[in-house]
Amino acid sequence: MTEPIENRLPVHLLEKSIQSGSEYGWRQNDFLEVVEAARKLQIAIEGGLVQYVFEEGTCELHWLHYYTEDLKPGEKWMNYCNRTAKECSDQFNRIIKEKNIEQDALKNFKLVKDLSDSGVAIENHKLFILSFEDKRPAPAPVVQAIKPARQKR
């Protein structure tokens, strides 16, 4: 099994991450630092979206996303990493500036509304999921040769 790309990030940022299923998310205050760290490590950003994660379930605000464009023909990897970090950061900043994320969640998810009405600070459950891309190919699967059983004479 291959190691997740996220494990290449600095430990202090990994410690701030919260796993949502197989995805990694960060709080709003840490998001841009994670994007910049990935860029410096030449890890491209595929993008992500906003989620509210509770014990009772996950509410995905799929319309609030910050996906980036694919690698373009002839584009150098470092340029791709720089471009995807900028695209992702710009879209994230636009969402923060122009959208009322909490209001969207309250309006679209009964779970969020019910928990908010019961006094849960839903802000503490908001995550910004990030997906990464690495140019390193996945290692080839290890195939173990099986020796034929020795025949008895």
pLDDT in tens, the chain (153 residues): 467 889 899 999 999 999 888 899 999 999 999 999 999 999 999 999 999 999 999 999 999 999 999 999 999 999 999 999 999 999 999 999 999 999 999 999 999 999 999 999 999 999 999 999 988 554 444 555 444 445 554
Domain with 110 in it: 10-133
Is 153 domain-assigned? no
Q: Is 97 left (phi over 0), alpha (psi -120 to 50) or beta?
A: alpha
Is 62 domain-assigned? yes
Radius of gyration of the chain (CA): 20
Dist CA 93 CA 97 (whole Å): 6
**Would you call 38 helix, strand, or coil by DSSP?**
helix
Backbone φ, ψ for residue 49 (5° rounding): -155, 175
Number of domains in the chain: 1
Dist CA 57 CA 38 (whole Å): 29
Is 144 domain-assigned? no
Q: Taking the model in full, what pTM does it have?
A: 0.84
Dist CA 35 CA 48 (whole Å): 11
DSSP state of 100: -
